[in-house]
């Protein structure tokens, strides 16, 4: 792997699921179960996801889930079956418990453990704090080529044209930079990086 581009995500999971004070981030949990574990798990054609989203929204299923208790039944309501790791996460919510002690950190950004990384997030994304923390974690680990770009969008806006443009500009630009560096090891990194950054009023490179 020559390049890693996390988009609207974070490497430490629990702070995204549990808000400060211990409450569960209900919007994230409901939409993640519905969109990822339900709709994305049953795709047969490229258009299936969008058709399923529209039909699901018309049925009011996500709204019903936001108002439903107990929370342990959300997976059955939204997907038609129990999701084992969702049940384990709810049953063992403590950060030092058996579940979260092994499921919390997806990437430690240890020196030499990951390739060059370009993190893309949005100012209104609920993963923003985690994305910024990942950027600082990567720099602290010695990844001085790590980049962070923050656009003017929220998490669920990613499929809109402007966020898509930002995401693909960052992805293709970073890939071009990596390939150029492999061909020309003595190239000017700062000049190459400047060329690949989006240059719109809705996007803010931070690197």
Q: What is the DSSP letter of 8?
A: S
pLDDT at 107: 84
CB 123 within 8 A of CB 8: no
Output the pLDDT for position 192.
43
The tens digit of pLDDT for each residue in 144-200 reads 888 999 999 998 888 788 888 998 898 888 888 888 876 666 555 443 444 444 544
Cβ 141 vs Cβ 51: under 8 Å: no
The pLDDT assigned to 150 comes to 94
From 113, 100, 202, 116, select the one nearest 160 (Cα to Cα): 202
% of the chain with per-residue pLDDT over 90: 20
pLDDT at 185: 60
**100-118 exposure pattern, b = at least 16 Cβ within 10 A, e = fewer:** beebbeebebeeeebebbb
Residue spans of the chain under pLDDT 70 = 182-207
Q: Supply the pLDDT for residue 155.
A: 87
The pTM assigned to this predicted structure is: 0.73
* CA–CA gap between residue 48 and residue 4 (Å, rounded): 28
Q: Give the pLDDT confidence score for residue 203 in this predicted structure.
A: 52
């Amino acid at each position: 792997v020559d390049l890693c581009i996390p988009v609207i995500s974070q490497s430490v999971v629990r702070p995204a699921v549990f808000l400060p004070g211990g409450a569960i981030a209900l919007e994230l949990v409901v939409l993640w179960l519905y969109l990822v574990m339900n709709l994305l798990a049953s795709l047969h054609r490229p258009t299936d996801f969008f058709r399923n989203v529209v039909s699901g929204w018309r049925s009011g299923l996500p709204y019903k889930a936001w108002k439903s208790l107990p929370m342990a039944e959300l997976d059955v309501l939204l997907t038609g079956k129990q999701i084992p790791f969702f049940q384990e996460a709810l049953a063992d919510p403590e950060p030092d418990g058996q579940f979260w002690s092994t499921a919390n950190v997806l990437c430690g950004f240890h020196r030499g453990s990951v390739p060059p990384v370009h993190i893309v997030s949005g100012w209104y994304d609920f993963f923003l704090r985690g994305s910024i923390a990942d950027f600082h974690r990567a720099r602290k680990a010695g990844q001085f080529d790590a980049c962070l770009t923050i656009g003017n969008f929220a998490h669920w806006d990613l499929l809109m044209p402007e966020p898509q443009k930002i995401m693909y500009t960052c992805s293709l630009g970073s890939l071009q930079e990596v390939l150029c560096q492999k061909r020309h090891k003595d190239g000017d990194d700062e000049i190459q990086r400047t060329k690949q950054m989006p240059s719109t009023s809705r996007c803010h490179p931070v690197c």
